[in-house]
Structure 1
């Protein structure tokens, strides 16, 4: 077996050794004694991670099985890994990312907001895993809903679909939309972590909406993916929109949903609505000021 193949088979051990060699011993409080190699010694990492030196040596040499999540967390702290490095450590050791340590963030960067604003004729918004809209563009509030006029709680799409009878009348395919949303909500909250906010939302909707309760008990899961959605706009009638969803890198709680007019006729209706809204000189915020930091 070649050296390259042996190296590839011990990816976890090689990664641990590389991260260990990059640590600054002096900054971690170790005396500036002569060291034959850069970084910390194996016994020093083992002590910091509260594992035996022998076990850690075997781990670097590829002679041990997959460490537990608890041990991996201790190793990540001992090696002063960043979040992305910690995730990579878990992927190498267990073929899965680590469990979320902190509540997911709902902040939207200025760059992401500028991307939304650049889509002048395409409705788009940023949502959390529980389908609360936290940022949007002008086309979204003109065609979909005026999120800028709503408090945070009312901007939850599940509440709009199951608790707002006026919004429900504007959805010709309400049953399909409702089933899709609940199945997607279940998958996304599992991926991002079931927060206290999501649990309260489930309890609220289950108590107030028999339809939601039945769909939630179905245990169906779906990805958002792509498709076509029809809405009944009070000014121009039916608008068909092709939708796609995109993950926000580094934040499992956020995704961007983009609605592109499905036909030239739909595009003309969207442009007509945008022209009317521009003529009215509407002033609005395009981002949730309660979570944008």
Structure 2
């Protein structure tokens, strides 16, 4: 098995392939890389500096800095780029960078109380963590209902999944990644992120937007390659996104959350159709 660091893909050799005629032969296959990433945090408390491990997530390597930045934003640890003094890879005892361990140093003015954490931040590649603690945290972060923003032509919305799919370079080679993308009201693709975890892909996307000073994103359309879960809607609301469209189904909690915060939520956006679950006024 060999790794291609430029595309974050493994090549696994001599895999048995069986077709619909039950013919078997050997071939090479491409697999997306999945590795753990640990995020450590350095913060001020009671006039002193403290440090702790904050999260471990299974992710596709690449865009790790923006993944960490997006995670800190959407979990309410930071509210702006000014809350971060530095964000860099940790080093081992010999001064070498550890590729899977990152340290975020918070500004002294950034309030972080580990005693108020309702849960340990542990995310898997399949779904992430959500629940009542996350909903309470969203309210406590001061997240407000989404501003009205622009409207989008429904016929244009139908084209966005194909534009997203056409831009998924790594998915074309592996078939094993989730993706999310930001579009403007003219249907232009502005940014895209891929990851083995759908929540990681969104954190990468929002981390880049934070770094570029683009938040809030109330004039953007977020398109998800899969379903719309509670956690993804929670993250999108932190960024102020007004319209979320998913190729798959939304969950009941996702619909409730979008409705509460005046966000338009679209599901089953495929095969020239879609369902609008909340606040349809953004679609014409």
TM-score, normalized by length of structure 2? 0.21
- Greater radius of gyration (CA): 1
When you count helix as a share of all residues, which structure comes out higher?
Answer: 1
